[in-house]
Amino acid sequence: MAKSADIYYKIHPWKIIEEGFRKEYAMVSESVFSLGNEYMGTRGNFEEGYSGDSLTGNYFNGIYEAADLEKSSYKGMIDKTEFIVNSANWLYTRIQADNEIVDLYTCKFKDYVRILDLKKGILTRSYIWVLENGKEIKLEFERFLSMKDAEIAAQKITLTPLNFSGDIILYSGIDFGLIHHMTGKNMWNIAGSTADNDSISMLGDTISTDQSVLVSCRFQVDCREWSDIEEEKKLVRRFVLSGEQGKSIEFIKIIRNLTRKDIKEEEKENFKTKWGKNQEVLHSLSYQKLREDTINWWKRTWQDSDIVIEGDGLNQQGIRFCIFQMHQTYHGADKGTIIGAKGLTGEAYSGNTFWDTEAYCLPFYIFNNTEAARHLLEFRYLTLEEAMERAKTLDCKGAFYPIATITGRECCSLWQHASLQLQASTAVAYGFWHYENITEDEEFIFENGLSILIEVSRMLASRGDWNKDRTRYGFYGVMGPDEFQMMVNNNCYTNYLGKKTIEYTLSVLKRYSNKNPDGYEKIIKKHCLLAEEIEEFHNIAKHMYIPYQEETGIFEQHEGYFNLPHVDIDKIPIEEFPLYHHWTYDRIYRNDMLKQPDVLMMMLLYNSDFTKEQLKSNYEYYEPRCIHESSLSPSVHSILASQLQKEEEAYKFFGFATRMDLDNYNRNTGEGLHTTSIAAAWMNIVYGFGGMRSDGKLLSFAPSLPKEWEGYAFKIHFKGDILRFKVDKENIKISSKAGLGIQILVYGKPYILGQDEINIPVIL
């Protein structure tokens, strides 16, 4: 892996600290210092403005724009795509003194420090601005997004003239004039604005998707005079502050952002009435109280989801950053929201959600916040109709889930992915299965999962085919998770996941018919599911072809893979990475090189279906062929390497899991955080070193301790209890918070967990 760490931030167990500001790191830091609360996200931009490289980014989950693509005469291509839209800058600020406006790109400054406090969810920054004439002003900034009331954000600026007394001008407002980075365009029409003594509001409508964002701000500051300036798409209040040497002036801005995603007429009418209400609500809020509530939210959250690593400050900071980002991006507050590949921290991947959600993120929520896991799955239920439309476009029956989406419609304009990858659909089915396996929430599966399972199975039964002699079933012309093998037949992962999906569908149908015959009849009718179709499902699952070489125990990634020309990936010069930029698209597809795990991914998801010998043979065959071009790749290899007691490899692949963004490993953190890889980093510790497996009947663990660590501890929410694991060089100590008597396996042996700690010698 041609990657190296770029350690820029100070190491601290609970804080990300930037001491001194390096301009070349400005965009990376904007991503790293992003704040989010699932509903909205704001990059760590300098609110006072910055004329160097920057992406001023403020996003709302589900507020998007659409663009028409060139119409293709080929059937199945999408002709419209959707992307997250950069909305209003609600933190807009400018600070002026003696005709100079502060700008860290051009001004003189000293004592710069920025701190993201992961424990509290508060971002602070301070420095001394040195004016051309030698005057000095200390500027301190603080901001947070409310975790209790997601529509609220708050900002405090403290200004202290250090060696003079005189006026300081502060501009604060709402700026809808931001440019969407990818398209280079602004996406807002201004529908109105208001201002009164201490607040301003502005309403923006998206240009083509008919959605709205209403931003209202209330100001608290002791000022000599103020006036409003309205420019195109921007409303700003100008405050004249009387600075006194050594005396701090505090400026507070509380922001309430309302969104209208729904385009129904009554929703629009409803939204209009919120205009005045917004100001009213703002008047009832206090900065201190909002701050306390947010700190308490994080306190509660950390209590039950922290991971402690002893003896490794870098990874301790790294994993806490990851956990923080997971909760910021999503915590199940709303059913229709998604996890974009970059969360709410940038515009790369267009804010779209991928199979990453079910395959990589869902485990974090299943074991930290079951309700959030359920809500995440509900998004797929709410978008079943769109998946069924997509199936029709692709000449299939049932439901074909999109590779990339915001609203449920396919947004991926690369047909190789959008038409050939079935893994989003099977990942959705896998997600429901995994959720049920852990929570036993059968009701939810009957209510929300079954419709999806029927329609996805139906799609599989129409997308796949029988071989010439009708002895085996498989999928032809597909692409598996490894995106370097296009248009292949019988991709092992796709066939295996297809088989599992259909088997699970049949099992849920059977259980439902036994437990609720009326409900069963209703759902059968609703989906017009015929007995012959069910019979066909059985047949397909039974005859699904899984390419496997008995003598070696290796699953063939797809038919013919073993005969592909071999590329020695160690001989590819470092300068040629990322390969997408240096090799033609078709050249990538013409050999046995892998972008990311495919067979190995299957072996992780359904781990207990395979023997350790099989895992070893496949790992040793496929890992040397994988270039890990996807950031999702190394953690999966690390988890499996741990299982195979390949400690050094496990640690090597873990090497950049927790710190991928903090150390800018992929050199693209500036575009936004790798949010779904961040989820894989959590898995890397819990499934990797903790050896947890959640695909069996009982939850099982096989902890190991990297020799670089003194110990580690993690927590798992499970069946209404919280299981606590502490691993050191000698022992594994396990207890449960509520002592519900949960049974687990450790190194294959059963244990019942109470509140009292049990001690098991660690196998190193």
Q: Annotated active-site positions, please?
A: 483
**Which of the ranges 48-56, 279-287, 350-358, 492-500 carries the binding residues for ligand BGC, by CB under 6 A?**
350-358
The amino acid sitting at 587 is: R
**Which of the ranges 353-361, 393-401, 455-463, 502-510 carries the binding residues for ligand BGC, by CB under 6 A?**
353-361
Tell me which residue has tokens 């700003």.
236
SS (H, E, C) 199-234: EEEEEEEECCCCCEEEEEEEEECCCCEEEEEEECCE
My answer on whether omega of the bond before 578 falls inside 30° of 0, hence cis, is yes
**Angle (nearest 5°) at CA 467 between 464 and 473:** 45
Cα(366)–Cα(373) distance, rounded to whole angstroms?
5
Strands 40-42 and 58-60: antiparallel
Cα(26)–Cα(153) distance, rounded to whole angstroms?
23
Return the residues of window 167-196 that contact ligand BGC according to CB under 6 A.
none
Q: Which residue number, 26 or 424, has a Cβ lying nearer to ligand BGC?
A: 424
Q: Tell me if 341 contacts ligand BGC by CB under 6 A.
A: yes
CB-based contacts of 668, cutoff 8 Å, min separation 6: 348
Cα(364)–Cα(331) distance, rounded to whole angstroms?
10
CB-based contacts of 120, cutoff 8 Å, min separation 6: 144, 294, 295, 298
Q: CB of residue 82 vs ligand BGC: minimum separation in angstroms?
A: 16
The amino acid sitting at 696 is: G
CB-based contacts of 527, cutoff 8 Å, min separation 6: 451, 454, 455
Q: How far is CA 369 from the centre of its chain?
A: 15
**356 labeled binding residue:** yes
Helix (H) or strand (E) holding 81: strand 80-84
Q: How far is CA 610 from the centre of its chain?
A: 29
Helix (H) or strand (E) holding 192: strand 188-195
Q: Tell me if 632 contacts ligand BGC by CB under 6 A.
A: yes
Greatest Cα pair distance in the chain:
91
Q: Tell me if 421 contacts ligand BGC by CB under 6 A.
A: no
Cα(653)–Cα(632) distance, rounded to whole angstroms?
11
**Which of the ranges 225-233, 262-270, 302-310, 348-356 carries the binding residues for ligand BGC, by CB under 6 A?**
348-356
Instruction: Describe the strand order of the beta sheet including 731-736 as a list of residue ranges.
Output: 308-310, 711-718, 721-728, 731-736, 758-761
Q: Which residue number, 160 or 423, has a Cβ lying nearer to ligand BGC?
A: 423
Return the residues of window 725-754 that contact ligand BGC according to CB under 6 A.
none
Q: CB of residue 341 vs ligand BGC: minimum separation in angstroms?
A: 4
Q: Tell me if 630 contacts ligand BGC by CB under 6 A.
A: yes
Q: Which residue number, 589 or 718, has a Cβ lying nearer to ligand BGC?
A: 589
Q: CB of residue 260 vs ligand BGC: minimum separation in angstroms?
A: 29
Q: CB of residue 424 vs ligand BGC: minimum separation in angstroms?
A: 8
Cα(311)–Cα(640) distance, rounded to whole angstroms?
23
Q: Which residue number, 583 or 747, has a Cβ lying nearer to ligand BGC?
A: 583
Indicate the residue whose CB is closest to ligand BGC. Answer: 354
Q: CB of residue 380 vs ligand BGC: minimum separation in angstroms?
A: 15
Return the residues of window 355-384 that contact ligand BGC according to CB under 6 A.
355-356
**596 labeled binding residue:** yes
Q: Which residue number, 591 or 617, has a Cβ lying nearer to ligand BGC?
A: 591
**Which of the ranges 319-327, 349-357, 508-516, 694-702 carries the binding residues for ligand BGC, by CB under 6 A?**
349-357
Q: Which residue number, 664 or 676, has a Cβ lying nearer to ligand BGC?
A: 676
Strands 35-36 and 249-260: unpaired
**Which of the ranges 28-36, 225-233, 263-271, 352-360 carries the binding residues for ligand BGC, by CB under 6 A?**
352-360
User: Which x/- pattern over 590-629 shows residues binding ligand BGC (rule: CB under 6 A)?
Assistant: -----xx---------------------------------
The amino acid sitting at 235 is: L
Q: Please provide the distance, in angstroms rounded to a whole number, between the alpha carbons at the two ends of the chain.
A: 27
Q: Which residue number, 485 or 596, has a Cβ lying nearer to ligand BGC?
A: 596
Q: Tell me if 354 contacts ligand BGC by CB under 6 A.
A: yes
Q: CB of residue 530 vs ligand BGC: minimum separation in angstroms?
A: 34
User: Which x/- pattern over 11-40 shows residues binding ligand BGC (rule: CB under 6 A)?
Assistant: ------------------------------
User: Which x/- pattern over 674-713 shows residues binding ligand BGC (rule: CB under 6 A)?
Assistant: --x-------------------------------------
Q: How many binding residues for ligand BGC (CB under 6 A)?
A: 12
Q: Which residue number, 278 or 630, has a Cβ lying nearer to ligand BGC?
A: 630
Q: Tell me if 723 contacts ligand BGC by CB under 6 A.
A: no
Cα(564)–Cα(622) distance, rounded to whole angstroms?
13
User: Among 72, 68, 66, 84, which Cα is nearest to 415's?
Assistant: 72
Cα(638)–Cα(655) distance, rounded to whole angstroms?
9
Q: Tell me if 661 contacts ligand BGC by CB under 6 A.
A: no
Point out which residues bind ligand BGC (CB under 6 A). 341, 349, 354-356, 481, 483, 595-596, 630, 632, 676
In the annotated binding site, the residues are 355-356, 595-596
In the annotated binding site for substrate, the residues are 355-356, 595-596
